[in-house]
């Protein structure tokens, strides 16, 4: 597995890198084929927060992104918490993939997004570089993303929403053939907005 480390406003030790690499590599026992990991370490700016060390890991593979973030008083503990979250998410994803494999036949298709080949059925995201932040108080678009929107059921969209740990997920509803947004409500449940 290829692992990329990023740090913001701190320097991490070789020992922390080695421990993190070993634990992330062991995650392949839950789901093979996750071939890349981006690991980011940073500190919360507010020092009054006891759990100020943050570890965020994004795993890529099988056309899926699995993301987890954890905070703890020290970096090693944050890594342990992230690994626990990732193992649960990978187990859930594997179960979903096995269920889908047995109930559908797959074909190996490829879609083109901005000239880049992306496997169909993936949630591959192509990011454009962020614009520099200015002191302007007017809200503006600072990041743009494009991704392949393969038709999927709202249940599949809910799984991807959980795996990405985002508050919303844009997809093509396979039941209607139209764009839809699945979002996390304040009560913890999910809401679905379908285009009319």
The tens digit of pLDDT for each residue in 159-191 reads 888 877 788 889 999 988 889 999 988 888 899
pLDDT at 98: 65
Residues 6+ apart with CB under 8 A from 167: 183, 184
pLDDT at 20: 94
pLDDT class of 127 with cuts at 50, 70, 90: very low
Mean pLDDT in residue range 114-126 = 48
The structure tokens listed for 139 are: 């809200």
**Secondary structure (DSSP) of 145-172:** EEE---EE-HHHHHHHHHHHT-SEEEEE
Cβ atoms of 142 and 129 within 8 Å: the answer is no
pTM value? 0.56
Between the alpha carbon of residue 140 and those of residues 3, 134, 135, 136, 166, the distances in Å are 33, 10, 12, 9, 20
Between the alpha carbon of residue 4 and those of residues 25, 58, 60, 141, 164, the distances in Å are 12, 10, 12, 27, 18
Between the alpha carbon of residue 31 and those of residues 79, 91, 135, 181, the distances in Å are 19, 7, 44, 28
pLDDT at 64: 78
Q: What's the chain's average pLDDT?
A: 79
pLDDT at 52: 85
The C-alpha atoms of residue 96 and residue 157 are separated, in whole angstroms, by 12
């Amino acid at each position: 597995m290829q692992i990329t480390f990023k740090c913001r406003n701190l320097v991490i030790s070789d020992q922390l890198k080695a421990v993190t690499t070993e634990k992330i590599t062991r995650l392949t026992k839950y789901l093979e084929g996750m071939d890349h990991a981006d690991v980011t370490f940073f500190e919360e700016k507010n020092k009054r927060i006891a759990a100020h060390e943050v570890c965020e890991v994004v795993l890529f593979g099988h056309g899926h992104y699995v993301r987890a973030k954890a905070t703890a008083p020290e970096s090693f503990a944050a890594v342990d918490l992230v690994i626990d979250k990732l193992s649960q998410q990978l187990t859930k994803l594997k179960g979903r993939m096995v269920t889908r494999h047995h109930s559908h036949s797959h074909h190996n298709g490829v879609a083109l997004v901005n000239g880049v080949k992306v496997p169909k059925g993936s949630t591959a995201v192509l990011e454009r570089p962020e614009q520099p932040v200015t002191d302007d108080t007017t809200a503006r678009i600072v990041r743009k993303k494009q991704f392949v929107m393969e038709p999927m059921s709202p249940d599949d969209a809910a799984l991807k929403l959980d795996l990405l740990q985002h508050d919303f997920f844009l997809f093509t509803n396979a039941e209607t053939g139209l764009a839809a947004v699945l979002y996390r409500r304040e009560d913890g449940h999910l809401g679905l907005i379908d285009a009319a």
